Amino acid sequence: MLIEIAYTYIFSFCSSSDPETIVKVGEGTFGEAFKIGNYVCKIVPIDGDLRVNGEAQKKSEELLEEVVLSRTVNLLRGNNKDACNSCRTFIETMKVCQGPYDAALIRAWEDWDEKHGSENDHPKEFPEKQRNAVFVCHDIVQGNILVNRSDSATLQFTLDGRHMFVKTYGLLIYIIDFTLSRINTGDDILFLDPSSDPDLFRVRSISEHEGRNRRLLGGSFARTNVLWLAYLVDILLMKKSFKRTSKNERDLRSLKKRLDKYHSAKEAMLDPCFIDLLLEHDR
């Protein structure tokens, strides 16, 4: 297999925790997420012929990108002091393993279904020898962008070899889903071609840019990151409810207009909206 999956069964991981504390915390088309102790496990059925949630199961080779990406992102957490780029708020994937559903996971799945009404197929429908890839992460996984409280006033990061600090205002931001990202691992460039799934995007401008750019052999097109920032501003303005003033809304709308002139997220970082957050440490 192209993926180096540790052959440890997921039920051995579950057995080390109190079964009553194992809960399902989310689901998607290709997998389920469970909280087990201090970790979250994302379980993805692989290599089977049975269609799962109406979709063909992923092959081991198709998970190569996600496995390599997870390991590469781990390296960006700043454990290497000589790293050119690093930030400790990158999510850490602890382990990738394989195995069947444990009884405690089945119970947790059924509890979720009773409370929320699952849109996914019941795991009991899988064949006895169904294989599952399991991504084990620290327990901070709640959505694609996670906001956590922090006691630290600043956060250090490294950008192009320059050590910087950013004001946190008591918050730490984690991006935890890199499915649509392009990454240069040093050995290869990994990316998903979104043009293969026309329903993948809900934002037309991003879909057009991403689809065209990904088809160009995984080339680097930093402008698409700015489009995602503008999309995030839209989400804050129209989809999220939080305490804000009319000035806050004007500032966000003004930021969205200014984003149109930037060609990369690094360039956008110098916008007046963000510049006061940055404290340069050294060069």
| Phi and psi based region of residue 160 (left: phi greater than 0; alpha: psi -120 to 50; beta: remaining) | left
**Which stretch, 89-98, 150-159, 217-226, has highest mean pLDDT?**
150-159
Average pLDDT over residues 163-190: 80
Residue 180: phi, psi to the nearest 5? -95, 15
What number of helices (H) and strands (E) belong to the chain?
A: 8, 13
Distance (Å, rounded) from C-alpha 262 to C-alpha 230?
11
Q: CA quadruple 41, 44, 48, 54: dihedral positive or negative? A: positive
- Which residue type, as a one-letter code, is found at position 61? E
77-111 pLDDT, tens digit each:
876 677 788 888 887 776 666 666 888 889 999 99
10-138 and 145-182+194-280 in the same fold: no
Catalytic entry in 18, 139, 188, 197: 139
The model's pTM = 0.61
Residue ranges covered by each domain of the chain: 10-138, 145-182+194-280
How far apart CA 140 and CA 161 sit, in angstroms, is 28
d(CA 186, CA 153) in angstroms, rounded, equals 33
Average confidence (pLDDT) over 39-44: 83
What token pair was written down for 88? 């400790």
Q: Assess whether 139 carries a catalytic annotation.
A: yes
pLDDT band at 247 (very low <50, low <70, confident <90, very high): very high
| Domain 145-182+194-280 fold | Transferase(Phosphotransferase); domain 1 (1.10.510)
Q: Of the given ranges (50-54, 98-102, 223-227, 274-278), which has the lowest mean pLDDT?
A: 98-102
CB proximity list for 79: less than 8 A, separation 6 or greater: none
CATH class of 10-138: alpha beta
pLDDT digits 0-9 by tens, 43-67: 888 888 889 888 888 888 777 777 7
Can you list the positions of beta strands (E) in the chain? Answer: 23-28, 31-36, 39-46, 86-87, 93-98, 131-138, 145-149, 154-159, 162-167, 171-175, 183-184, 189-190, 278-280
